[in-house]
Amino acid sequence: MTKTVCRYSAVIRILCVLLAAVFLSGCAKQELDEPELLLGFSQLGSESAWRIGNTRDIEEKAEQYGVSLMLENANQKQENQIAAIRRFIAYQVDVIAFSPIVEEGWDNVLLEAKDAGIPVILVDRDISTENEDLTRCHIGADFYREGVEAAEYLIRKTDSEGMDHVRIVEITGTEFSTPMQQRQAGFMDTIRDDERMEVMESVNGDFLKSRGAECMQDLLERYGNDIDVVFSHNDEMTLGAIPEIEKAGYRPGEDILIISIDGGQDAIDVLKEGKINCVVECTPMLGSALMETALKLKAGEQVERLIHPKEEVFSDEQDLTKIGPRGY
Ligand code: GZL
């Protein structure tokens, strides 16, 4: 009898030790799994391959960096972004990031974030404010330079083709957005002193493929044969415009030069077909910079005020076979 009791008590002791070990390892694992950062991100929409690629990259990099991501899609409405930022504040996230659809109208909600002690990062687009300390960092392209690159390509092409009068139509992105205003400024500033250049009209395509097609239809009806160049602020609108040019009986890339911005796979494929002449890259792969900056802010470290990604220009001046898969 005694032996049996001893044996049972030994088994019970071993079981207790095992149970304790399992429990403690579970807690430790729970501790280890606790995300070190809760990031609230308001994405402006899903209007283009660029935007979808940007969202995908941010989600993938959050996973990779072990960041807990609350991502809300505003479906192209500023009021939805403001509401999302307010929810992030209420939820007491560690850091807020957002891609502002337009530059104006953010001071009030960003003041609320500041009062709540939550740092804010601008991703992709910028805001216009007198209050510099409402945000801690802007991670996004140098849109002005993109406009300059587009114009500098056109000047080189005009020289090489010996053109003495270049009639341009511009299809712009979302009005009052940073990329639209900066790309246009960079382009116009660069061609301003070149007397060969004439901008016949600028129309708003809102970065949308369907609007790009509509804008191109209208421009062809109004200017038809007189159009030498289309300067389009993003690939989505360019890809909407090209079929309209062909329907009207013109050869895109030959009868009408096409200059676009973003550098997504679809546009690069069309560039390789010779129907687009120049694509200025605007990379959507901002996720790593966002996670690294947010983690630094959480740790109380200094961060750069402005982070511009490196970007290239692809055009019919180059060996296009060297361009690898684009990832968006
Ligand atoms: C640019 C980004 C623009 C892209 C468009 O950084 O804000 O918005 O050029 C997208 O494709 O819709």
Mutate to test the pocket of ligand 1, among 51, 81, 178, 266 (most ligand atoms within 8 A of CB): 51
- b/e code 92-120 from CB counts within 10 Å (16+ = b): ebbbbbbbbbbbebbeebbeebeeeebbb
- For residue 188, the model assigns a pLDDT of 98
pLDDT at site 47: 94
Pick from 124, 236, 285 the residue to mutate for probing ligand 1's pocket: most ligand atoms within 8 Å of its CB: 124
What pLDDT is recorded for position 12? 65
Comparing 229 with 32, the larger pLDDT belongs to 229
- Residue 20 banded pLDDT, cuts 50, 70, 90: low
Asked if the domains 35-141+284-311 and 143-282 are classified in one and the same CATH topology, the answer is yes
CATH number attached to the domain at 143-282:
3.40.50.2300
Global pTM reads: 0.89
How many residues in total does the chain contain? 328
Is the beta carbon of 126 within 6 A of some atom in ligand 1? no
Distance CA 228, CA 19 (A): 78
- The mean pLDDT of 211-231, rounded to a whole number, is 97
Q: How confident is the model at residue 150 (pLDDT cuts 50, 70, 90)?
A: very high
- Can you give the residue ranges of every domain in the chain? 35-141+284-311, 143-282
SS3 320: helix
The predicted pLDDT at position 35 comes to 65
Residue 3 clears pLDDT 90, i.e. is over it: no
Q: What is the mean pLDDT of residues 135-164?
A: 98
Section 128-154 average pLDDT: 97
Helix 235-247 / helix 49-65 crossing angle, nearest 10 deg: 150
pLDDT band at 1 (very low <50, low <70, confident <90, very high): very low
Instruction: State whether the beta carbon of 55 lies less than 6 angstroms from ligand 1.
Output: no
CATH class of 35-141+284-311: alpha beta
Q: How far is the CA of 300 from the centre of ligand 1 (A)?
A: 31
Q: 104-137 pLDDT, tens per residue? A: 999 999 999 999 999 999 999 999 999 999 999 9
Rounded Cα–Cα distance for residues 94 and 82 (Å)? 17
Please give the distance, rounded to the nearest whole angstrom, from the Cα atom of residue 234 to the centre of ligand 1: 7
pLDDT band at 224 (very low <50, low <70, confident <90, very high): confident
State the pLDDT at residue 36. 82
∠ CA 186-57-36, rounded to 5°: 115
- Percent of the chain, pLDDT > 70? 89
Residue 316: what pLDDT? 98
Determine the average pLDDT of the residues in 218-226.
Answer: 95
Cα(51) to centroid(ligand 1), Å: 6
Ligand 1 center to 21 CA (angstroms): 52
Q: Is the pLDDT of residue 11 over 80?
A: no
Q: What is the pLDDT of residues 173-214, one digit of tens each?
A: 999 999 999 999 999 999 999 999 999 999 999 999 999 999
Q: b/e map of 157-171 (b: 16 or more CB within 10 Å)?
A: bbeeeebeebbbbbb
User: Per residue in 262-305, pLDDT tens?
Assistant: 999 999 999 999 999 999 999 999 999 999 999 999 999 999 99
Query: Is 70 exceeded by the pLDDT of residue 14?
Result: no
